[in-house]
Amino acid sequence: MKRLLLILTLALCGLSLHAQGFSTMRRNAEKLARVLYYVDNYYVDTLDMDRMIDKMIEGLMDQLDPHSAYIPRSEVEATNEQLEGSFEGVGIEYTMLTDTLIIQSVIAGGPAEAVGIHAGDRILAVDGEPIAGVGMKTNDIRNRLRGPKGTTVTVTVSRGELLQDFVIRRDKIPVESIDAAYNPEPGIVYIRLGRFAQRSAEEFLEALARTAPTRPDGIIIDLRGNGGGFMHVATILADMFLEKGQTIVRTEGGEIGQEDVATGLGLYKEGPLVLIVDENSASASEILAGALQDWDRAVIVGRRTFGKGLVQRQYKLPDGSEMRLTVARYHTPSGRVVQSPYQKGHRDAYYQQARQRYAHGESFSLDSIALPDSLKYKTLRLGRTVYGGGGILPDVFVPYDTTGINPFMIRVVSGGLLSEYSYDYIDKHRKELEVKDMAAFLKKWDKMGTEAMEGLLAYCREKGVEPEEGELEACEALLTTRLKALLARGALGNDGYWEVINREEDPAFQKALEVIKNWPEVF
């Protein structure tokens, strides 16, 4: 405990505070240190003080805004790697089904691909230790697969009837933030951005160069499900589409106040541009959408975004844990506040808002959203009406599509039967699914689609899941599309999956494509 008192004293000495603030902080720190000392030394039972202090910090964070957070040391690496852009491991994406690790995809150019591991393979053991059927936690499996660059790990793989050991030399693995990038039609580019990570701007440019060697005829950026990430990456992406001097975002709060302005060096400052958003698009997604909407540079398609307009700064703590503390609020160029209302200390209620929106009908009708005149703003070029008060309201509303979703569909998908069957099918038809592009895959599907669907229904029956009267007819088209998309992912990676979903299932994507094609009529 003396060490704790010393740490608190040193921390206070390192703070640059006004005299009154310093005195208050010192008094509170001494009070806290004394409480911890008494509990640690005199409490009747033995305590795990490290855990107790973690809980105290978490309790403090719970009394602040909903986005300030404490990250224990054990979770820091996993939390940060998605944004920092890399980790050291074998280079696979996987899921756990019926207590078995199934490889969803193999990262191109990674060490797993180099030794011949494929999507659909099942990993049964790591370095001779069984990981299938033993109830091992996902974190424990991940820790066994990962390790320093240059070290090796042996994985035992089941592929159909074949059991084989692969020795993989670990390497640095990039964490891609682009989930898909392809051409839905000649000249038009679709890019699905999953998060705003350290390399997202570079990845975006690489995806654009791959899909549009010359100037594109239109760009669709899909931000659905993108909960944000690094704010400065959002401003870099916005800068690609705006004119010199146009404001991207304003941040205000405490001692922080700044305005990010476009440099004018962007590569696509005019031309058809659409962003697709939904209720899970947040933070950096809203910075990008708000800036492009306010300057009438892009059409926003979809549903109202989450409404996270608070800026966090990450601070490292002495034991390796970290704290994300809200330090500012941001405003769109027109002055809109994006942050949804919240009460300090009511974090759970705040995160229930998406469910409440759904219950109130907002996912299905724009008329269900209260839009008082006090929340009206005007775009900066054309003077169109836009709204503040929480989230970005799209220019073109597309309701949530529930067509085909019924109890049988839910049992098949949520119960893991669709995924399990698709992996089995890919494993048994690996040669047939070796195709180079979507056109080739679609030809294969024309031949195997009916058989594949019949096999899925037979598999469901084997597992005791059968449709009630009328259920199959209602969901068959949707179920067929989902199976087709999973097989396309096995053949062509994530690009194949999203191309099938967008082409056959997604009304928001279809509306975005329509806007691109009719661009002169939009503004």
Tokens encoding 119:
């999507």
Establish whether 68 is a catalytic residue: no
Distance CA 339, CA 401 (A): 26
Give me the catalytic one of 283, 285, 321, 340.
283
Nearest-angstrom CA–CA distance, 151 and 139:
19
Q: What is the pLDDT of residue 9?
A: 45
Percent of the chain whose predicted confidence (pLDDT) is above 90: 46
Query: Mean pLDDT across the chain, nearest whole number?
Result: 87
216 neighbors 273 (Cβ within 8 angstroms): no
Same fold, 86-174 and 178-400: no
Q: How far apart are CA 523 and CA 521, in angstroms?
A: 6
pLDDT at 437 over 50: yes
281 is known as an active-site residue: no
The pLDDT assigned to 6 comes to: 45
Q: What is residue 66's predicted lDDT score, i.e. its pLDDT? A: 87
Q: Where are the domains of the chain?
A: 2-47, 86-174, 178-400, 407-492
Q: How far is CA 200 from CA 85, 284, 355, in A?
A: 9, 12, 30
Give the DSSP letter of residue 115: T
- More confidently predicted of 406 and 159: 406
- Find the helix packing angle between 231-239 and 200-211, rounded to 10°: 30
Going by the DSSP 8-state scheme, the letter that residue 341 receives in this structure is P
Number of helices (H) and strands (E) in the chain: give both, helices first: 17, 21
Structure tokens at 482: 């989902």
CA separation for the pair 149, 156 (Å, rounded): 20
Summarize pLDDT for 343-398 with one digit per residue, the tens: 887 777 777 776 677 777 888 887 777 777 778 999 999 999 999 888 999 999 99
Kind and range of the H or E element at 3?
A: helix 2-14
Query: Which candidate in 294, 395, 427, 506 is catalytic?
Result: 294
The predicted pLDDT at position 86 comes to 66
Which numeric CATH code is attached to 86-174? Answer: 2.30.42.10
Active site residue 278: no
For residue 32, is it left (φ>0), alpha (ψ between -120 and 50) or beta? alpha
Task: Please state the rounded mean pLDDT for residues 136-159.
Answer: 85
User: 254 pLDDT band (50/70/90 cuts)?
Assistant: low
* pLDDT, tens digit (0-9, with 9 covering 90-100), for 13-27: 445 445 555 678 888
Query: CA 302, CA 220: separation in Å to the nearest integer?
Result: 12
Say if residues 455 and 420 touch (Cβ distance below 8 Å). Answer: no
Question: Rounded CA gap, 366 and 303, in Å?
Answer: 9
Question: Amino acid letter at 394?
Answer: P
pLDDT at position 7 over 60: no
pLDDT for res 77: 75
Confidence of residue 8 (pLDDT cuts 50, 70, 90): low
Burial class (CB in 10 A: 0-12, 13-18, 19+), 439: exposed
For residue range 451-462, list pLDDT tens digits in order. Answer: 999 999 999 999
Return the H-helix or E-strand segment holding 457.
helix 438-462
Tokens of 216: 């594109």
**In this predicted structure, which of 173-177, 286-290, 384-388 has the lowest mean pLDDT?**
173-177
> Average pLDDT, stretch 45-58?
88
Torsion of CA 433, 436, 442, 448, to 10 degrees: -10
Contact 212, 188 (CB under 8 A): no
Q: How many CB atoms lie within 10 A of CB 102?
A: 23
pLDDT of residue 2: 43
Percent of the chain with pLDDT over 70: 92
Q: In terms of pLDDT, which residue wins out, 37 or 238?
A: 238
Strands 122-126 and 100-106 come out as antiparallel
Active-site residue (options: 65, 171, 285, 308): 308
For residue 429, the SS3 value is: coil
Please determine, for residue 93, whether its predicted confidence score (pLDDT) is greater than 90: no
Q: Residue type at 87? A: F
Third-level CATH fold of 178-400: 2-enoyl-CoA Hydratase; Chain A, domain 1 (3.90.226)
Under the banding of pLDDT at 50, 70 and 90, the label for residue 216 is very high
Q: Per mean pLDDT, which range of 101-105, 167-171, 331-335 is the poorest? A: 101-105
Q: In a 3-state reduction of DSSP, which class is residue 71?
A: strand
271: phi > 0 → left, psi -120 to 50 → alpha, else beta; which? left
CA distance 511 to 506: 9
pLDDT tens, residue by residue, 410-432:
899 878 889 889 988 988 898 89
Residues linked to residue 159 through DSSP beta bridges, in sequence order: 162
pLDDT at 176: 82
392, 278 contact by CB (below 8 A)? no
- SS3 state of residue 21: helix
DSSP state letter for 75: H
Which one, of 230, 214, 395, lies nearest residue 296 by Cα?
A: 395
Answer for the pair 233, 119: CB distance below 8 angstroms, yes or no: no
